[in-house]
Amino acid sequence: MNKLQRNLAFLFLFILFTKQAPAQLAVHGETVYTMAGPPIENGVVLIQNGKIKAVGPASSLPIPSGWQQRKAKVVTPGLIDAHATAGLTGIFNQDHDQDQLDHGSAIQAQLRALDAFNLHEPLVAYLRSFGITCLHSSHAPGELVSGQSLVVKTAGRTVDQAVLKAPAMLTATLRSSASKGARKSPGTRAKMVAMLRQEFIRAQDYQRRRKESDQEGKAFQRDLNLEALAEALEGRLPVLITADRAQDIASALRLQQEFGFSLVLDSAAESYLMPEEIHQAGVPVILHPTMARPQGDRENLSFRTAAKLKAAGIAVALQSGYESYVPKVRVVLFEAAVAAAHGLSFEQALATVTVDAARLLGVADRVGSLEAGKDADLALYDGDPFEYTSHCIGVIIDGQVVESEPR
């Protein structure tokens, strides 16, 4: 066999094995939390062609002959990190792997996380090893408008194959980290809100001029920054506003009422001070990591905020967030465990990192619960997943076992 023949043979084998359908797989759990109904004791999840074929008790759902099998004490849907920077943030904390924030200007709505996300970043694999199968990743808070986020699986060959939703949200910041100081703009809270308001007014004018140009058949000069803001005004792109102090949360709610965009509050450390206002506005909250450091704008955070918001009827999901020091991100599995220890029930806490997060992000038709027809994304544990001594012993994404070493 000459060199050309060897190369062709290698190419054929590569195509064959990278495009083959996922194996038929049965996952047996002593307890299966489907998040679509009561937990199933001695349950089975049947997986075929990357999708969930059936879920039920082992007594009524026999495993077909010849299927591969995996066993665990506890089986849950793959976990969802409702807001992260992993994939833009790198594990080494060096310039070459830090794409999480551009300081070129205060408002950069045109930046897309999709264009910078590194699916093969070790930090993504680190999170995946704990059972996290889906990330809502974005540029970090720190500029008034930092860009557009994406929702993506934590395994795949390319980000385009792994992406669930892009763009997902427009990310903005109303807290001290977005202030440039008294001699630069924006230097105060009032200036930050005024700049956002002015930019939305410009986007409204952009919408009007583009519509007129389309009606008249004239050429129109596009502005990607205003185009993203216009999509938010049209309701096609939710606006994620990071705000911790009650005064900043109130400003975010005021802007939402004024311009009518779909708002999601991010971090929201003092949200427990105004649950009625948030509930009345119908605004969900992606709460800060439960164990975030109580300093700066978050100095008044509480471990019980998730439980208080849930009790007020507010949709809540948890996140790993962003920190400027190694290890860069937290793990939502442990953040949910702390929330469960401070007011949430086990299943409420699990929902904040599975089905409730999926609903909030608009991807519940594919992930977040174990139901027939949904993506076969599962996390397997050798004990209570919120118990620190338990281990994640398997992770399945789109029907493929992507992690099998205990973490």
Q: Looking at residue 94, what is its pLDDT?
A: 77
pLDDT digits (tens, 9 = 90+) for 41-54: 999 999 999 999 99
pLDDT digits (tens, 9 = 90+) for 312-349: 999 999 999 987 765 567 999 999 999 999 999 999 99
Predicted confidence (pLDDT) at residue 7 exceeds the cutoff of 50 = no
Q: Which residues contact 81 (CB under 8 A, 6 or more apart)?
A: 127, 132, 134, 135, 136, 319, 320, 332, 353, 357
pLDDT digits (tens, 9 = 90+) for 339-377: 999 999 999 999 999 999 999 999 999 999 999 999 999
- The Cα 398–Cα 190 span in angstroms is 47
Residue 244's nearest CA partner among 287, 208, 280, 201 is 287
- Residue ranges of domains in the chain, CATH in brackets: 20-78+368-407 (2.30.40.10), 96-363 (3.20.20.140)
Q: How many CA atoms lie within 13 A of 380 on its CB side?
A: 25
DSSP bridge partners of 369? none
Q: Average of pLDDT values for 240-264?
A: 98
Q: What SS3 class is residue 20?
A: coil
**Identity of residue 270:** E
pTM above 0.95, yes or no: no
pLDDT confidence tier of residue 19, bands split at 50, 70 and 90: very low
Contact (CB, 8 A) for 320 and 331: yes
